[in-house]
């Protein structure tokens, strides 16, 4: 049977439409896992992935051939490994846990978490200097943490003369996951005797859910002085995680007014070299009640580590003091709440949000790190390079960084002394406080002239006064067979007796060479003489 031409055309159209759809889907899948950023390559991977999960392929992303290159992971262990021939990046046996990564533990809520990596690429065919590829992996959160209340039993004191509609703050639940998988909602369960008296209202402040107990009916302490309810916190993951705590509402005698802060938020700056006892900020609240009901006591509220170790508040005056040594490089912003609570028999409270920015001082010297790169071997601070390597060969990768910020972190780096080496920038994506250089040769190396160099690298920051640091590398030049044997002297005169027996040795010629080790063997092969009765027997030796 012969197919109709229109059927053939229709099949071709269907084939090309399906091929186009597959191409589009493949591009979508690729774009979802690999994104180009200003600082290099950006991949994305969810945390807690099993070992050998493919994160990205550097060969295809960089447009390099499938063979002839050597890929080596320079930064990223122990969470990453790189296939040497293809440049594929995989996870390892050590899982990537977003909540425990050092660079992600102190992230501001809602900020992405990145794991940095560096891979050197060496062209094995053209024998060029290695190329350094830098990138970041955005570690995406999964819902692997359950919301937790500060205690399995929470207590709230509510005065008996509280008006209907009054709100009382319930202690918050915390979730170590990201904002998307963090605490999303609260639910309140009450028995028949409390269901008509209490309800739940969830407010929102800076993206944080704030549970509040709302009074729905009149309270009488003489009839019942406490009620037990259940508060549940639910996160935003799929599937959701949740936990519960008992909420005990204690009905207390009246204290009509809550303290009120003069500001809704407070902000201040403190230098990181401020001494212990230095006053940073004063918060102030007022209470219109009289006597103990109007006396206010201040406390830090929901201040996570390291805030309680670094700051303290005077409970009577509201002045916040430096308690421990500050280090901007460890934490640059201290955020917390301050609660003002009166001293009435049924205390009322209110809170304000405080932000203290730790400003920088030039208290960190630049750090100079020297490590191997490409095919040049490094061991215990010693690099070995063959004398026949071309000018411009990279001997080491030098990373200079400064933990300060601003001008205090701008670092200048030079090679000290008269040595045939120089620094060349290794990456276009360097920042002021972190730069990478290739330490490369500037002139041909000659083992027979100089066999070893001590290369000292000096880094100086731009602070006032400036701080500096040094690091050094021993470079050993290895020998190649680049010198021919020579006779010294070039002319020999030997007197023979007139009647001399055959085979008598009269003189031994020893050529010398500048080359050493396994390449310095020599041989003699030919002697032109007159008369022909004199001959040279070939011999071999090796200089010791």
Which band of pLDDT confidence, cut at 50, 70 and 90, is reported for residue 277? very high
At the topology level, CATH places domain 143-254 in Immunoglobulin-like (2.60.40)
**525, 523, 527, 517: which is closest to 540 by C-alpha?**
523
Higher-confidence residue of 175 and 512: namely 175
Q: Is the pLDDT of residue 290 over 80?
A: no
Residues 492-521, mean pLDDT to the nearest whole number: 58
Residues 126-155, mean pLDDT to the nearest whole number: 88
DSSP state of 348: -
Q: Is the pLDDT of residue 131 over 60?
A: yes
Residue 286 CA to residue 292 CA, distance in Å, equals 13
Which band of pLDDT confidence, cut at 50, 70 and 90, is reported for residue 430? low
At the topology level, CATH places domain 259-359 in Immunoglobulin-like (2.60.40)
pLDDT tens digits along 228-264: 999 999 988 888 898 999 999 999 867 778 999 999 9
Phi-psi region of 207 (alpha: psi -120 to 50; beta: other; left: phi over 0): left
Residues 108-113, mean pLDDT to the nearest whole number: 75
The pLDDT assigned to 470 comes to 94
Residue 471 CA to residue 228 CA, distance in Å, equals 66
CATH 3.40.50.170 fits 367-478, yes or no: no
Distances (CA, A) of 512 to 11, 386, 449: 80, 22, 16
The pLDDT assigned to 499 comes to 66
Q: Do domains 143-254 and 367-478 have the same CATH topology?
A: yes
Residues 189-202, mean pLDDT to the nearest whole number: 93
Is residue 427 within 8 Å of 400, Cβ to Cβ? no
Domain 15-140 homologous superfamily, CATH: Cadherins (2.60.40.60)
**431, 481, 541: which is closest to 40 by C-alpha?**
431
Residue 127 CA to residue 222 CA, distance in Å, equals 91
The pLDDT assigned to 497 comes to 64
Which band of pLDDT confidence, cut at 50, 70 and 90, is reported for residue 36? very low
Residues 465-472, mean pLDDT to the nearest whole number: 91
Residue 153 CA to residue 171 CA, distance in Å, equals 10
Residues 478-491, mean pLDDT to the nearest whole number: 74
pLDDT tens digits along 342-395: 998 889 999 999 999 999 887 788 999 999 887 787 888 899 999 999 999 999
Q: How far apart are the first and last CA of the chain?
A: 88
User: Residue 247: helix, strand or coil by DSSP?
Assistant: strand
| Dihedral over alpha carbons 157, 162, 165, 166 (to 10 degrees) | -50
| Gyration radius of the chain's alpha carbons | 38
The pLDDT assigned to 511 comes to 59
Could you tell me which residues are beta bridge partners of residue 188? Answer: 231
Q: Please report where in the chains the tokens 């990145």 appear, as a residue.
A: 114
User: Residue 516: helix, strand or coil by DSSP?
Assistant: coil
Q: For a pLDDT cut of 70, what percent of the chain falls above it?
A: 80
Could you tell me which residues are beta bridge partners of residue 261? Answer: 285
The pLDDT assigned to 52 comes to 92
**156, 72, 84, 75: which is closest to 118 by C-alpha?**
75
Domain range summary for the chain, segments of one domain joined by +: 15-140, 143-254, 259-359, 367-478, 484-544
**248, 226, 258, 222: which is closest to 347 by C-alpha?**
258
The pLDDT assigned to 35 comes to 41
């Amino acid at each position: 049977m012969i197919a109709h031409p229109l059927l053939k055309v229709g099949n071709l159209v269907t084939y090309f439409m399906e091929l186009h759809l597959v191409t589009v889907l493949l591009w979508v899948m690729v774009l979802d896992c690999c994104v180009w950023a200003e600082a290099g390559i950006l991949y994305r991977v969810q945390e807690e992935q099993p070992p050998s999960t493919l994160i990205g392929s550097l060969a295809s992303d960089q447009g390099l051939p499938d063979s002839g290159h050597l890929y080596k992971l320079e930064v990223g262990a122990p969470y990453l490994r790189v296939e040497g021939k293809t440049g594929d990046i995989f996870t390892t046996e050590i899982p990537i846990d977003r909540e425990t990564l050092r660079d992600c533990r102190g992230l501001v809520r809602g900020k992405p978490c990145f794991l940095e990596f560096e891979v050197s690429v060496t062209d094995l065919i053209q024998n060029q200097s290695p190329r350094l590829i830098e990138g970041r992996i955005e570690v995406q959160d999964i819902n692997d943490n359950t919301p937790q209340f500060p205690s399995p039993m929470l207590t709230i004191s509510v005065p008996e003369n509280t008006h209907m509609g009054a709100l009382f703050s319930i202690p918050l639940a915390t979730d170590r996951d990201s904002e998307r998988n963090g605490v999303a909602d609260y639910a309140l369960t009450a028995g028949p005797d409390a269901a008509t008296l209490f309800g739940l209202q969830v407010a929102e402040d800076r993206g944080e859910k704030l549970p509040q107990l709302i009074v729905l009916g009149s309270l009488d302490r003489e009839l019942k002085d406490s009620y037990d309810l259940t508060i549940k916190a639910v996160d935003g993951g799929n599937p959701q995680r949740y936990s519960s705590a008992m909420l005990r509402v204690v009905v207390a005698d009246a204290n009509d007014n809550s303290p009120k802060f003069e500001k809704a938020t407070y902000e201040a700056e403190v230098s990181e070299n401020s001494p212990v006892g230095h006053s940073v900020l004063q918060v102030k609240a007022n209470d219109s009640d009289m006597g103990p009901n109007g006396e206010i006591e201040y406390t830090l509220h929901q201040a996570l580590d390291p805030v309680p170790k670094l700051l303290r508040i005077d409970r009577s005056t509201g002045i916040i003091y430096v308690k421990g040594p500050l280090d901007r490089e460890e934490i640059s912003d201290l955020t917390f709440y301050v609660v003002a609570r009166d001293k009435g028999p049924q205390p009322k409270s209110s809170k304000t949000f405080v932000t203290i920015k730790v400003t920088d001082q030039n208290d960190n010297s630049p750090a100079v790190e020297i490590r191997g790169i490409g095919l040049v071997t490094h061991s215990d601070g010693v690099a070995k390079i063959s004398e026949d390597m071309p000018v411009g060969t990279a001997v080491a990768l030098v990373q200079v960084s400064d933990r300060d910020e601003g001008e205090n972190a701008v670092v200048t780096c030079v090679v000290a002394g008269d040595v045939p080496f120089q620094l060349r920038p290794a990456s276009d994506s360097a920042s002021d406080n972190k730069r990478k250089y290739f330490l490369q040769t500037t002139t041909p190396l000659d083992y027979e002239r100089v066999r070893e160099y001590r290369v000292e690298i000096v880094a100086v920051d731009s602070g006032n006064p400036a701080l500096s640091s040094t690091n050094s590398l021993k470079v050993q030049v290895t020998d190649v067979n680049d010198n021919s044997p020579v006779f010294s002297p070039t002319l020999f005169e030997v007197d023979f007796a007139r009647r001399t027996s055959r085979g008598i040795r009269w003189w031994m010629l020893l050529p010398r060479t500048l080359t050493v080790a396994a390449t310095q063997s020599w041989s003699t092969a030919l002697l032109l003489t007159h008369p022909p009765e004199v001959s040279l027997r070939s011999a071999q030796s090796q200089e010791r």
